[in-house]
Amino acid sequence: MKRRFLLFSLFLAAASGCATMAPRYSRPASPVPAAWPAGGAYGTPDAKPAGTAPADLAWRDFFTDASLRKVIDLALSNNRDLRVAALNIERSQALYRIRRADLLPSVSATGGGSVQRVPKTLSTSGQPVIAREYDAGLGVAGYELDFFGRVRSLKDQALENYLATEQARRSVQISLVSETAGRWLALAADRERLRLARETLAVQEKSYELTKRRFEAGVSSELDLRQAQTGVDSARVDIARYTSAVAQVRNGLELVAGGPVPEELLPEKIDANAAMAELVPGIPSEVLQRRPDILDAEGRLKGANASIGAARAAFFPRITLTTSIGLGSNDLGKLFAGGAAAWSFAPRITLPIFEGGANLANLKVAEVDRDIFLAQYEKAIQGAFREVADALAERGTLGDQLNAQQSLVDAAAASRMLSDARYEKGVDSYLPVLDAQRTLYAAQQNLIAVRLARLTNRVTLYKSLGGGA
């Protein structure tokens, strides 16, 4: 009968804790509009191409350049920030397992023996006595019967924190992918700017030599010669500046890649028609809730909500159970013989009566923490909404900017050809030629900048819309 009572107690311990005192969680209302901004900067709805939802589009499907994908692979393999994020996941997972283990009794096997000599002055028989005692058994020590859900609430909090950490890792990965792509594109643009500066220097040097010969022949003035020299010197300045910029951008790319990037994977120029999958902005409430940083913030909000249950349970009794069953004997050879069974059962209940307001304060802390995480969750949604809205506003005008800038380059090139012809025939001085060369060079540099902005905008939009890992 006693053994049945002991087994029933263990069963009751394992079956306890099926509910918590945490408030029922419901996702807060979205603090942003139900639709993306509209207007002239965003283009017309019909102009937006059809495509794939970013959260369902893996980065390998979004970036189609083979070299860029290899560089991103290097970054995902070697970047230290991503390693730290992965290690944080392992840590949170271990903490969750610890909390989950608290729901089950911890059973331990014990065995021991003692031999003691009692002198005759202390012995009841007046003779020295040697006392021997041996025992072996199984025991449960200090297991809490989770009637009020305190342990389960702590387990739920650890679980939500673990899941939030996984979303944080995904957020780091998406940021790393987009940053790597952005630096790779920036390197392509700076290399093209450097190449353009070198080509311009070659043209300016030829123009300077022609002007110098004309000056020596008395056809051109010294003013024309000095103006031609300014074009040469300006190009040399830009070559030095872009040489430094290329080196710095490459250093930044290798930093996010976690090591040296092979030369064959580096781009030579910016490609305005680089293939990237088109994206559908979708509905804000659906898109933003799939961003990993939003899911991270919501997971921590859920964890804070669960901690309120543990704080509430602290107001109620805590019941702990210590029990053991085994064998005992004063003769080691008879330890496993009949009649050696031994057991103990020691339940304990602790009822908080006076805590100096500590329980109330802990509950208040838990509730305020929940409100803080709620504000952070709403702020994350608002920040994400603005990121997407800004990227959409930029995308809506970049196409027009690119077309206008290309037209400007074409017009500047034609103007330069006409200015060269008029100067060679002696119709104009060298000043119109110099102005035409500077206008063309500036237009070409700006065209590179617009191409870079257009591609970078697509990367930014992919990231802001929660692009897939």
* Topology annotation, domain 2-103+148-305+360-464: Outer membrane efflux proteins (OEP) (1.20.1600)
Query: Could you count the other beta carbons within 10 Å of the beta carbon of residue 204?
Result: 22
Q: What is the pLDDT of residues 11-32, one digit of tens each?
A: 444 444 456 778 888 888 888 8
**In which residue are the tokens 């074009």 written?**
231
Segment holding 97, helix H or strand E: helix 80-101
Residues 154, 158: Cα–Cα separation, whole Å = 6
Confidence at residue 148, expressed as pLDDT on a 0 to 100 scale: 67
Domain with CATH 1.20.1600.10 in the chain: 2-103+148-305+360-464
Mean pLDDT of the chain: 80
DSSP assigned state of 328 = E
pLDDT at 36 over 70: yes
Query: Could you count the other beta carbons within 10 Å of the beta carbon of residue 151?
Result: 23
Which residues have C-beta within 8 Å of that of residue 20, sequence separation ≥ 6?
Answer: 149, 152, 153, 156, 306, 309, 313
For residue 366, which of 21, 102, 88 has the smallest C-alpha distance? 21
Residues 181, 392: Cα–Cα separation, whole Å = 19
Q: Does domain 107-145+317-351 have CATH number 1.10.260.40?
A: no
Confidence at residue 192, expressed as pLDDT on a 0 to 100 scale: 93
DSSP assigned state of 30 = P
pLDDT at 50 over 50: no
Confidence at residue 444, expressed as pLDDT on a 0 to 100 scale: 92
Q: Please give the radius of gyration of the chain, using alpha carbons only, rounded to the nearest integer.
A: 38
118, HSE (Cβ side, Cα atoms, 13 Å): 12
Confidence at residue 47, expressed as pLDDT on a 0 to 100 scale: 39
184, HSE (Cβ side, Cα atoms, 13 Å): 31
Q: Are 440 and 409 in contact (CB under 8 A)?
A: yes
Segment holding 344, helix H or strand E: strand 341-350
Q: What is the pLDDT of residues 293-317, one digit of tens each?
A: 888 899 889 888 888 888 887 777 8
